C-alpha cells in the first residue's frame, strides 16, 4: 500500500496521538458542550494533522511553510481550549499537564519543519 509523504512525518504521527488524547478527554466532558467546546477542541486538534497533510501536497516550500504555520496556530488553539477546559473543571490540571509535553514537542517539530520548508523555497 502506498504511503504518502505526510504519513512519514514524525510531527504528523505525534499529531495523531494528540487527536486520540483530545477525543478521549472530551468524551468525559458534559453533554451540553457537545456542540461548543468539545466540537471546537476536536476540530482544532484535527486541523494540526490536516494542515500537515495538505501542506505536503503543495509544490513550493513557501506554501508548505504556510500550512505548517497554520498547523502551529491550531496547536496553540488546542492548548488554549485545554486550559479553558481545566478552568471549567471539565478536565483536571494533571490531565492538562500530561498533554503539555506532547504539545511542546509538536510545536518544536512544526517550527523546525517550517524553517526547513522556507530554506528550500529560496
Match 501542506 to its residue by C-alpha cell.
55
Which pLDDT score is estimated for 122?
Answer: 65
Which pLDDT score is estimated for 121?
Answer: 76
Which pLDDT score is estimated for 76?
Answer: 98
Q: What is the pLDDT of residues 64-90, one digit of tens each?
A: 999 999 999 999 999 999 999 999 999
Question: C-alpha cell of 95?
Answer: 490531565
d(CA 122, CA 118): 7
Map out the domains of the chain with their CATH numbers. Answer: 17-121 (1.20.1440.60)
d(CA 44, CA 50): 10
Which pLDDT score is estimated for 120?
Answer: 87
Which pLDDT score is estimated for 32?
Answer: 95
Which pLDDT score is estimated for 90?
Answer: 96
Residue 89 vs residues 16, 23, 35, 95: alpha-carbon distances, Å: 25, 17, 18, 11
Contact 50, 20 (CB under 8 A): no
For the chain, which residues score pLDDT lower than 70?
Answer: 122
d(CA 117, CA 84): 33
Amino acid at each position: 500500500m502506498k504511503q504518502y509523504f505526510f504519513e512519514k512525518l514524525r510531527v504528523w504521527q505525534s499529531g495523531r496521538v494528540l487527536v486520540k488524547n483530545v477525543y478521549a478527554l472530551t468524551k468525559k466532558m458534559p453533554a451540553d458542550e457537545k456542540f461548543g467546546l468539545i466540537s471546537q477542541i476536536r476540530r482544532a486538534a484535527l486541523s494540526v494533522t490536516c494542515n500537515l497533510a495538505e501542506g505536503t501536497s503543495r509544490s513550493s516550500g513557501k506554501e508548505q511553510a504556510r500550512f505548517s504555520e497554520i498547523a502551529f496556530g491550531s496547536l496553540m488553539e488546542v492548548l488554549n481550549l485545554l486550559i479553558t477546559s481545566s478552568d471549567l473543571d471539565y478536565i483536571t490540571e494533571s490531565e492538562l499537564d500530561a498533554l503539555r509535553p506532547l504539545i511542546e514537542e509538536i510545536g518544536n517539530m512544526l517550527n523546525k519543519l517550517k524553517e526547513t520548508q522556507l530554506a528550500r523555497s529560496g
